[in-house]
Chains A and B, each alone.
Chain A
Amino acid sequence: MATTINEFRKRLEDFIAAQLQAPVEVTNARQLTGGASRESWAVDINVSAGPEAGQHVLVLRRDMGGVIQEEALTREQEFRLLEVVYRAGVLAPRPCWLCTDPAVLGLPFFLMDRIDGESVGRRIVREQALAEARRRLPRQMGEQLARIHTIGYDRSELQFLGRPENDRTPAETALDQTAQQLWRLGEPHPALELAIRWLRQHLPACPRWVLIHGDFRIGNLLVGTDGLRSVIDWEFAHVGDPAEDLSWPCVRSWRFGQDGLRLGGVGQPDEFLDAYNNAGGSPVGENSLQFWEILGNLRWAVGCVAQANRHLSGQTQNLELASLGRRTAEMELEVLDLIEEANR
């Protein structure tokens, strides 16, 4: 795996050279920690002529072989979305070039600017050097989310985005998808069944659909000493309920051990929600936020069962995926306790 891009180095150089009409040398390529449906590489290039002459630090994202995850965007779709959100002024990496020809690197890929910053959640919530950044993050996260949610999703270049089925709310659609996914996996989880039942009885209405990032949380944000630098990992974007994106960064797992700071281990939801509302975000009710936080925990629990299953089924043999199976119980505890709080 670790040698794949290097084997293709010449072809990658030729591809970028053709885009820039200038000689290109790949000076460094190393694999970054992987994601669910794609692999990422840090790639440095040197362009020796033309208007783009000089060093460029980039990220290459490539589709992964095997079974494609049903709800994730392909690299081509992710690239198209990045073009839209970058143009709309969202703090997102500038997309550079897309290649859908599998002859080049085996599978479709794209390149985007590599932005300097910390993405590892455990470090963002702890490191001394990021104390000032943590102070700024709640407000910055609210403002970015408001900007994302005001991008019109009904444009021709975004028709691929998943959206709720006709006459059903985003909440109902998402709950059904999650329940079906759990039941297909065939592992008995009484705690998750109770959560599904409770959520079914507390479905919130959604006054306005918006463009949802789909994985907006600490861990998918690049953070520097000055705060939020970039929103990354757009592969789960879709059309849905703004409360989904507002609750997801509050899910306990994404506090990375800093449990008292309910917004991603860096702050409190109030400051984040105020910034979101002041920046023109969609009004969202307390019961919606509560519903989506519980559904978020349920989804991540089911996600862990699914990831472990990818390993167990032999589809992608990987220790990290296997280990996620045993994290499921953490979210089970959280959904049961959140339901108890909500019932009070």
Chain B
Amino acid sequence: MNDRPTAFELLVAVRQFLETELIATLSDPRLRFQTLIAANVLGIAERELLTEESALADEWRFLCSELRRPADAARAVGDLKAVVREANETLCRRVRAGDYDAPADFKRLRALVRDRVIQKLQVANPKCIAAGGRRAAAV
């Protein structure tokens, strides 16, 4: 076990330094822009650290159900990442092979994959989900 601050807390500290101290000192627009990006990607890493474990478990359950595999929940995060990736590759190959071309199958998978995309956006850009809500409500 590492000492505090945790990795999450360190990321928050760096992001706050960029946002509250560094940016105010920068006059070069290019450097300001790059620094805003830096703060933004630290925010992504923070959100990922908080939610990664449960998001991977969700995704694994979805993929096992879709690919008709027995779900094996008792996996460490590192291991789970590898199997989720492999299962996603298998799902991609099936879509490519035309396994979901029938309208009903396509519609069903589209909705399930959309849930996974929302999960990714909760980490990458939560604001984008709110903006897309206009559509989400209608779907």
Q: Chain A residues in contact with chain B, CB under 8 A?
A: 31, 33, 188-191, 193-194, 196-198, 201, 257, 259, 319-320, 322-323, 326-327, 329-330, 332-334, 336-337, 339-341, 343
Q: A190-B91, A336-B114 are in contact. List 12 more A-B contacts (CB 8 A).
A: A188-B89, A197-B100, A197-B106, A322-B41, A323-B37, A329-B120, A330-B125, A330-B128, A333-B129, A336-B113, A341-B135, A343-B107
Give complex CA distance A31, B28 in Å.
11
Q: Are A197's CB and B101's CB within 8 A? A: yes
Given A329-B124, A332-B117, A188 and B92 contact (CB-CB distance below 8 Å): yes
Give complex CA distance A84, B129 in Å.
43
B38 is an interface residue with CB less than 8 A from chain A: yes
Q: Are B98's CB and A197's CB within 8 A? A: yes
Task: Give the contact-size bracket for chain B.
Answer: 35 or more
25 residue pairs A–B, Cβ–Cβ below 8 Å:
A33-B30, A190-B88, A190-B116, A191-B114, A194-B100, A194-B110, A197-B95, A259-B134, A319-B37, A319-B41, A320-B34, A322-B41, A323-B40, A323-B41, A326-B44, A329-B121, A329-B128, A330-B121, A333-B117, A333-B118, A333-B129, A333-B132, A336-B114, A337-B132, A340-B139
Give complex CA distance A320, B32 in Å.
12
A31 contact set on B, CB distance < 8 A: 30
Q: Are B41's CB and A337's CB within 8 A? A: no
- A contacts with B: majority SS: helix
Given A188-B85, A194-B109, A201 and B118 contact (CB-CB distance below 8 Å): no
Give complex CA distance A334, B110 in Å.
12
Give complex CA distance A337, B115 in Å.
12
Q: Are B139's CB and A337's CB within 8 A? A: yes
> When each residue 74-99 of chain B gets 1 if its CB lies under 8 Å from chain A and 0 otherwise, what string results?
00000000000100110110011010
Least Cβ distance of A42 to chain B in Å? 12
Least Cβ distance of A190 to chain B in Å? 5
Give complex CA distance A123, B135 in Å.
25
Q: Are B131's CB and A259's CB within 8 A? A: yes
Q: Are A191's CB and B38's CB within 8 A? A: no
Give complex CA distance A326, B40 in Å.
11
Q: Are A257's CB and B131's CB within 8 A? A: yes
Q: Are B34's CB and A319's CB within 8 A? A: yes
Q: Are B124's CB and A326's CB within 8 A? A: yes
Give complex CA distance A197, B113 in Å.
14
